[in-house]
Amino acid sequence: MGARGEPMVWMTALALVVSLVLVVGLLGLIAYQGLATFWPRPIERVTLADGTRLLGVPTREERVALSAAERGAAAESEVESALDGFVTRRLYQVGNRDVSRTTFQWVPLHEVVSAERPSGVVMVERLEWGVWIGEVRRLLVREGAERFEPDGVERVAGPGGEGEIELRVYESGRADFGRVLASAHASAVERRREIRRLTEHELGRVNDRIDRVRLRERAAELRAERPSVATGLPVALWGLCVAGALGAAFGGVRLARRSGDAIGAGRARVASRAGLAALLMSGALVLGLGAVLEHPWASRTVSASELSEIRSSLASERAWLAAEAEEINARITALSEADASTRVELVDSAGNVSIDRRSGDGSPIPLSRVVRFVAANDIGFGEKLGVYLSRWWEFVSTPPREANTAGGVMPVIFGTVVLTLMLSVMVVPLGVVAAIYLREYARQGLVTSLVRIGVNNLAGVPSIVYGVFGLGFFCYAVGGFIDAGPESPMSRAFGEGAFAGVLGWWPIAVIGMLIVASAVSLGMLSIPTPGQGRTGRHVWLRAGAVCCWLLAAGAVVWLVTGSPYFDGFFRERLPSPTFGARGILWAALTLALLTLPVVIVATEEAIAAVPNSMRQGSYGAGASKWQTIKRIVLPGAAPGVMTGSILAMARGAGEVAPLMIVGAVKFAPDLPVSGQFPFLHPERSFMHLGYHVYDLGFQSPDSEATRPLLWTTTLLLILIVLALNLAAILIRARLRAKLKTSGV
C-alpha cells in the first residue's frame, strides 16, 4: 500500500477537505451574519432588580467571569451559588444617544426581574443621532396630513422666530394614527428629497459654473501677468518649417522602405540608409514641434484692455448665475420652512423627549429627519420582510451618514467597481505586451533571466511599498507636473545668467535627433550578415546602439520635464492641487504596478503552452512573426491571459494598504463619474469597500453599532469580487469554447 502511494492520496484528500471546510465555514459565517443585519428584531422592556426599566433590542449574549467586587455583591444578595463565579449577560441596543449618550447596555440576566415585548413601542431610525427606541406621543403637522381631522390646533413660533404658525396636532391614541403618521412622513420624505435634489444637483450645478467662471478669469489674469514664452516665427519661416517637416517625413518614409528592400546590399549601406531615414524622421518631428510651438500667433498675450473686457463679460455671466442661485435658494428656504413645521414628538421609557438639536429651542425633531418607524412587536412576517428589503435598498443606494455608522454604501460600491475596472484596463494590455516580448522577441539569456527574476520578486514586495511609491511619484511628481508644469523650465536656446552657454531646450532636441539616427545606424550594423556568426564587433555595436537609445530616452525625459512651453493644465487652480493630490487615477496606476507581475507571469506561461508546431506551421505558410503572434499565439493564450486578469482583479479589489495612501478616504460625497463635464473625474478621491471595512472595524466611534454593518460590508465586498471574477470566467469559458470549435 505504501509503495502505491495510497497514504499520500488520503493525506492530500484530507488537506483538500479541511481547506474546503475552512473556506465554506468562513463564507457561511459572513453570509449568516451579513444577511441577518437588517432583519427587524423585537423590542423588549426589561425591569431590573433595582427597579430600573429600559427599552432595547437584544443583540447577543456572553458568559463572563465575575470580578471580586461583583462576587461580593452577589454574596450579599445571596445569588453567589447560582452564579458559580460566572455571569451571563445580554447586550441591548437602547439607542437614544442624544439623551443617554450610550447606544448599547449590558444587562446581567440574574438581575432581570421581567422582560416583556410590549405593544406600541417603535424603533425610530433617524438621519442624526442614531436610532430612538420608545413611543410616538403626538404629531404636529403643517402640511402632509390634510385629509385627516386633527385632535387639536397649536400655535407655535415660526421658523427663525418670525411670527406664529398654526400646526394641527394628532395624538397617538387615535385609531387611525398609523395612517396619519404614514401620510405625513411620506410628504416629509418627499420634501427632504426635493431639498437634497435642489441643494446637491441644481445648486451644485450653478456653483460649479460659477467656479468655472472664476477659473476663466484667473486664467486670463495669469496670461496677462506672465507673457507667453514663445515669440512666434515669421509667417514665411513658419511656412518653411511646415513644408520642411512634411518633406522630411515623406523622404524618411521613402528611404526607410528602400533600406528595407536592400537587405541583400552591404550592411554599411543599409545602416547608412536606415540612419538617414531616422535622421529625416527625427528632423520632421523637430520641425513639426517648432511649427506648433512657435506659430506666428504664439506670442500673443492678454492686454490690459482685453483683460478688462474679459472681466466685464464674466461679471455679467456671474451675475446671471448668482440670480439663478438665489432663485434656487428661495425654493430651498420655502421647502425648509415647511419641513421645519412638521414635527414628531418621541418619548423613551424614562420620559425623555427627543428634541431638535439644530434649532436649540427644545422643539421636537422634524419628521423629515426620520428614515422609518419600525414597530417590530406589532407587525407580521410580511411587514418585517418589507422593512428588511427597504433597509437593504437603503444600504446599497444611499451614501453613509453618522460617521459611517449608519446609512448606505453606494459611493463605496461605485468607487470599488470603477477602481477595479480602471485597474484591469491599465494592467492587462501592459502585462500582455511585456509577456509577449519576454517570450517571443527577447533573446533568452542572462538579461532576460534577470528580468524574470525581477518580475517574480516584485510580486513579493509589500503592498504598502507600492503605496508610498505611488504617493511620491504619481501624486506629487507626475500630478504636480500636470498641475503647474516644470518647477524650473529650461531656456529655449541657451542658458541665461549663471547658466549662460549651457544647452537649452531646442539644442537638446537637435542633439536628441542626431542620437536617434546614430542608434538606428548602430543597430543595423550590429546585425550580422545572414549565414555568418556574431563577432565581437557586432556585440560592441549593439552595446553602442543600446547606449544611444538610453541617451535618447533621457533626452526626451529632459525635454518633457524641463519644457519652457508648458505651464501646467491647472495653474489657475493653485495652490489647491488637482492632479497633484490623491485620486482614483493614481490609485489605479499604483494597483496596476502591484498586480503587473501576476499578469506577466500568467500570460507568459499561457504563451509558452501554445504548441511550437503551430508556430512552425504558420511560418511555413508564409506568415510573419507578428502575424503568427496575432493569429496563432494570442488566441491560443487568451484563456491564460484571462486567468491572469482574474487574479489581478481579485488582488487589486481586496488591497487596502496602498489605497489608504494614494486615494481612498473615509467619506467622499463626489463620485469619480458624474453628470457634470468632463463626466469622468480621475483626480477625485474615492471610497473603497476594503478601506470601508477597515474604517468600520477599527476607526468607528461606536464599535457596537458598526459591528453588524461590518459583516454586511464584508459580504458585499466578497459578492462584488465574485461577480467581477465570474464575468471574467464566463468570458474565458467562451474563449475556450471558441478555440475548441475552431481547432486551435
Q: Which tens digit of pLDDT belongs to each residue from 594-653? A: 999 999 998 988 888 888 888 888 888 888 888 888 888 888 888 888 888 888 888 888
Same domain, yes or no: 96 and 48: yes
Judge contact between 594 and 432, C-beta under 8 A. no
Same domain, yes or no: 197 and 63: no
Look at residue 302 and tell me whether its pLDDT is greater than 80: no
Look at residue 219 and tell me whether its pLDDT is greater than 80: yes
The per-residue pLDDT for range 187-214, each reduced to its tens digit, is 889 999 999 999 988 898 899 899 999 9
* Cβ burial 180-198 (10 Å sphere, 16+ → b, else e): bbebbbebbbebbeebeeb
Same domain, yes or no: 117 and 178: no
pLDDT at 587: 93
Pairwise CA distance, residues 653 & 645, whole Å: 12
Same domain, yes or no: 212 and 344: yes
Higher local confidence (pLDDT), 493 or 727:
727
Strands of 276-333 (E only): list them. Answer: none
pLDDT at 526: 80
The per-residue pLDDT for range 23-41, each reduced to its tens digit, is 999 999 999 999 999 999 9
Q: What's the structural domain count of the chain?
A: 2
Q: Is residue 716 part of a domain?
A: no
Q: What is the dihedral of CA 97, 100, 103, 108, to 10 degrees?
A: -170
pLDDT at 323: 93
pTM (2 decimals)?
0.86
Judge contact between 594 and 466, C-beta under 8 A. yes
In order of 216, 428, 548, 673, 689, the CA distances from 681 in angstroms are: 19, 22, 39, 6, 19
Pairwise CA distance, residues 728 & 560, whole Å: 38
Higher local confidence (pLDDT), 634 or 299:
634
In order of 45, 313, 315, the CA distances from 308 in angstroms are: 73, 9, 10
Express as a percent the part of the chain with pLDDT over 90: 21
Pairwise CA distance, residues 32 & 516, whole Å: 64
Confidence of residue 4 (pLDDT cuts 50, 70, 90): low
**CB-count exposure of residue 92 (10 Å: 0-12, 13-18, 19+):** buried
The per-residue pLDDT for range 9-20, each reduced to its tens digit, is 888 889 999 999
Same domain, yes or no: 199 and 79: no
Q: Radius of gyration (Cα) for the chain, nearest Å? A: 36
Residue 52 CB neighbour total at 10 angstroms: 13
pLDDT at 448: 84
Look at residue 426 and tell me whether its pLDDT is greater than 60: yes
Q: Is residue 161 part of a domain?
A: yes
How many residues can be counted in the chain? 744
Mean of pLDDT over the chain = 84
| Mean per-residue pLDDT, 714-738 | 83
| Mean per-residue pLDDT, 137-166 | 73
Domain boundary among 316, 346, 372: 372
Q: Is residue 545 part of a domain?
A: no
- CATH number of the domain at 74, please: 2.30.30
**Pairing mode, strands 122-126 and 131-141:** antiparallel
| Mean per-residue pLDDT, 436-451 | 85
Task: Look up residue 353 and give its DSSP letter.
Answer: B
| 185 residue type, one letter | H
Domain boundary among 354, 372, 390: 372
Same domain, yes or no: 78 and 210: no
Same domain, yes or no: 145 and 90: no
Same domain, yes or no: 182 and 56: no
Q: Reduced to 3 states, what is the DSSP secondary structure of residue 498?
A: helix
Same domain, yes or no: 141 and 83: no
Domain boundary among 121, 154, 188: 121
Residue numbers of the domain that contains 194? 135-227+329-372
Instruction: For residue 154, give the nearest of 137, 136, 141 by alpha carbon.
Output: 141
For the chain, how far is it from start to end, CA to CA, in angstroms? Answer: 42
pLDDT at 497: 47
Sequence-separated contacts (24+) of 381-387 with Cβ below 8 Å: 384/39, 384/40, 387/38, 387/40
The per-residue pLDDT for range 351-362, each reduced to its tens digit, is 888 887 777 677
Q: Which three cell numbers stand for residue 317?
A: 455671466
Please list, in sequence order, all residues whose beta carbon lies within 8 angstroms of the beta carbon of residue 132, skipping any fewer than 6 positions away: 95, 96, 123, 124, 126, 346, 348, 354
Pairwise CA distance, residues 439 & 604, whole Å: 6
In order of 512, 519, 543, 556, the CA distances from 550 in angstroms are: 11, 9, 11, 10
Look at residue 473 and tell me whether its pLDDT is greater than 90: yes
The per-residue pLDDT for range 530-586, each reduced to its tens digit, is 666 677 777 888 888 889 999 999 999 988 888 888 888 888 888 889 898 889 999
Q: Is residue 177 part of a domain?
A: yes
Cell 446609512: give the residue: 407
Q: Is residue 493 part of a domain?
A: no
The per-residue pLDDT for range 133-142, each reduced to its tens digit, is 999 988 888 7
pLDDT at 200: 86
Same domain, yes or no: 217 and 353: yes
Q: Is residue 338 part of a domain?
A: yes
Q: Is residue 334 part of a domain?
A: yes
pLDDT at 99: 82
Phi, psi of 149 (to 5 degrees): -75, 125
Pairwise CA distance, residues 265 & 480, whole Å: 51
Q: In three state form, how does the secondary structure of 400-426 look? A: EECCCCEECCHHHHHHHHHHHHHHHHH
Same domain, yes or no: 97 and 175: no
pLDDT at 305: 83
pLDDT at 260: 58
Same domain, yes or no: 177 and 67: no
Look at residue 263 and tell me whether its pLDDT is greater than 60: no
pLDDT at 84: 60
Q: Is residue 533 part of a domain?
A: no
Of the candidate ranges 483-487, 489-493, 573-577, 684-688, the one whose mean pLDDT is the lowest: 489-493
Look at residue 498 and tell me whether its pLDDT is greater than 50: no
pLDDT at 71: 61
In order of 30, 467, 673, the CA distances from 396 in angstroms are: 18, 29, 17
